[in-house]
Chains A and B, each alone.
Chain A
Amino acid sequence: MSAPWWAALMPVSTTLGCDGTHRLRWEDGRLWAVDHPDAESEMVLAALGGDEPECLRKVSAWGQHSDNLDALAIGPRSADDDFRVSPAGLETERQRRLIISRLRPGPAPDRARDRRTELYELFSLGLPFTFRLMATVAASWADRPQSARPALTAALSGRLAPAVSTWLRMDADRVDARIYEGSGWGELARTADLLHAALPLGWIAGVWAAGLAVVDRKLVVEVVSVTGSTAEVLAVSRPGAQPEPLTVVLRSGQWRPRSAERRRDGKRTSRDLPAAHGRD
């Protein structure tokens, strides 16, 4: 039995300017405004014409983008991706939108662009939040991939290929990925020059977004359970092999096999460990 998709994603928080400096926290699969204990009432007031606090605006936007496939199309493909939405970049985007809104003929609002800017603002919360947003989106489509199969196949391929490249030291372009819709963890098979991979969409949400894709030179295919910063996962050592249980521990932002943790006596160290995608 698998763990919930968010189990290996550690809580993260950030601060932003609201009515003072407030905190946003993501935990157990949802974003919440720590300093707005009665958020529901405040949202009702905002809906009636009052000012919407920035914290609640972010939470609302998060909810609205929780199935937005653009997050997967645009967002990072790996921890090494150069993806960055800096505050300065966001300001530039706002400036551009200001210019454009003045040049744009007609009063009609451009909802698609507004949504894009909202997404941009969510990305600007930082990479840990960005990975969690992508996990949220992937999880929301996990039980209905047929509704957007091309976009979801690309989302899976774009994230699995770099992981496989790290795992097997092969050209990422030689990875043929598809969404696995059966029961179980999926399939991996290697032919002469291709790796054929079929993984469920939940892999993006539960494994990849948590920085667990490759640990100890194994491809993690499923998170079984998480207790604190220790996770029980299923990992494949080579294509064609069956996944085996592996216990991993989050230390200094990286998942390491428990065995490696125990052997920090100079005899062996873990290599090629990807960074976990953010944590408190």
Chain B
Amino acid sequence: MASEQAETYLRLMAETELRRALALPKVRVQQVAVTRVASATFSFGSTVSARRVRSTRLSARRLRWYALRMLATGRRRQHEGAYDGLHRLTAAADALAAVDAVDQDVARKIIADQQLALELRERVFADQIDHMGMIFGHGARAATGPPAGPFSAVGIAKRTAFEVQGDPAEVTLLALVIGPDRAVLTITAKRHTEMDDDYDDDGFLFLDLVKAADNRGGSYSCDFSGGGDDEEWTGQLELHPVPRPGIQWLDLTFVPGTAPIRISLDGVTPPEPIVEALPRSELADRYLNRVGEQLFECQPADETSWSDGVTALLGAGLITLDSPAISRLTTIAKRLGACLPSGLADRPDCLLSDRWLSVLDSAEAMDGPAGIAAAAAVLPEFEGSRWAIAGLRSNQDSAELDVLGWGAGDGRSYDSPLEMTPRLSWWARDNAGRWHVASMSDESWGDMHKDFTLRFTPALHPAATSIDVVLIGQRGQVTVTLPLDWTPLDRTRS
């Protein structure tokens, strides 16, 4: 529930930052020419063809975004002072919104007003990023939940080898997830050939030519999205149309004339997720935990990059310096060697929870199994989103879990300023007792979808035979247990 005290704190902070900005020199504003938009749009065409971009999923919406992004970043900036203040304000707004102390739309409005106030005083450039928000309606867009209808996930963990134009190729199928509006196979693909031209991604074009057939005579085409290096790509094969419920198997043919690989959809028993409510009174604790997770992920060199949100919670009276959550965070920061702001540096250490002790004590573990596991599950609708786990890869220092999402409950998108700290935490505990904390990578967003890879560190315990994946949100958590039946990797992925 939004608090008047927190909103007042944020607005007064905006006033302070505006005064600071007025003490800085003006920026020199270059007028925006219409032709620059056009040229930025056209030059975008060459950008999207570069490898590693999920080119086939780029929509017109993204094209516009890239055009404006290039237009904004193409300007020369003389100093960053007022941007630093805007960043501090955004970090505070993000923290206060994350703990429900300030309404999300109010927080966005305060940031937008501050940006305009700075623009009109020539302390920041008239920023097209803000205007992207106006194009795409950030702040005004209603949250959209996941679509209604059946969801299913099937772990596969199969590898198939064949030849493409005379060169050996290999595709590893991790999992198939079928939702009401899309069906996605998560895969990795390898080609054992040298490709000279850095910008030539033709070597993996065969992934767009994959065909599938089901036991009822239905046929499917596939679109590939993903990226990688010369030898290996990871990504998704999206099937068209979406297979109807009730089919028993799918045969995938990667190259005409080769034997298909069969995916059985029959008799799959999905794991049962367990949902637990978490007390609203601990929202600030959970936010501080997420800050700790980010510290573990990034280990920043200075405190300014992570402490603004914490300072905001303290300043707005939502948490006190002597709270256990602050002590926990400062203890974690010290263990990680992160710089602490002066107000927090003298907090005494506290006893950490089992999960944090496990993660910190095993941080350097390099004993993870090298393999893939048929790990798949669909989580129940959770805080406005639906998540499906779509395959696990493990190597000696970490493990990667592919996740597909529906809905906009997470709040993370490329048109939201309030995304500095994720609203969700992903943890895992293997049955050998080792905890793992996740960081997101390879994130991609569409209108209704958001997919990413979770990288769990430290490595999975070599003796583990199952793993509990734990998703912690604002108001609850979901736990699902996945068996670890490894299919060995032929080499450790870097």
Contacts and interface: CB of A to CB of B under 8 A. Distances in A.
Interface of A: 70, 73-74, 77, 81-85, 89, 92, 95-96, 99-100, 103-105, 110, 112-113, 116, 123, 149-151, 153-154, 157-158, 161-162, 172-173
Contacts of A92: 31-32, 126
B131 interface: yes
A83 B19 contact: no
A70 B109 CA distance: 10
B101 to A, nearest CB: 11
B11 A151 contact: yes
A82 B19 contact: no
Contacts of A162: 19
Contact of B117 (A73, A99, A113, A161): A73
Contact of A110 (B22, B31, B137): B137
Mostly, the A contact residues are helix
B120 A84 contact: yes
A83 B134 contact: no
A154 B8 contact: yes
Interface of B: 4, 7-8, 10-12, 14-16, 18-19, 22, 26, 31-32, 34, 37, 60-61, 64, 67-68, 110, 113, 116-117, 120-123, 126, 131, 134-135, 137, 140
Nearest to B122: A82
Residue among B12, B31, B67, B120 having the largest count of chain A Cβ atoms under 10 Å: B120
B96 to A, nearest CB: 11
B11 A105 contact: no
A172 B21 CA distance: 13
B8 A149 contact: yes
Q: Which 4 residue pairs are nearest across A and B when measured between Cβ atoms?
A: A154-B11, A150-B7, A158-B15, A150-B8
A74 B32 contact: no
B120 A85 contact: yes
Mostly, the B contact residues are helix
B117 A74 contact: yes
Contacts of B26: 82
Given A104-B135, A113-B134, A161-B19, A96 B11 contact: no
Contact of A100 (B8, B12, B15, B134): B134
19 contacts: A70-B113, A73-B14, A74-B117, A81-B22, A82-B122, A83-B120, A84-B120, A84-B122, A96-B131, A99-B32, A100-B134, A103-B67, A103-B68, A104-B134, A105-B64, A151-B7, A153-B12, A154-B12, A154-B15
A79 to B, nearest CB: 13
A279 B12 CA distance: 31
Nearest to A173: B16
A105 B61 contact: yes
A61 to B, nearest CB: 17
B135 A100 contact: yes
Contact of A95 (B16, B32, B67): B32
Nearest to A93: B126
Contacts of B67: 103
A85 B64 CA distance: 28
Contact of A103 (B16, B64, B140): B64
Contacts of B15: 77, 154, 157-158, 161
Contacts of A74: 113, 116-117, 120
Contact of A150 (B4, B117, B140): B4
A138 to B, nearest CB: 15
Given A82-B121, A82-B122, A158-B18, A153 B8 contact: yes
Nearest to A91: B31
B55 to A, nearest CB: 20
A113 B109 CA distance: 12
B4 A154 contact: no
A112 B140 contact: yes
Nearest to B13: A154
Contacts of B31: 92
Contacts of A154: 8, 11-12, 14-15
B134 A95 contact: no
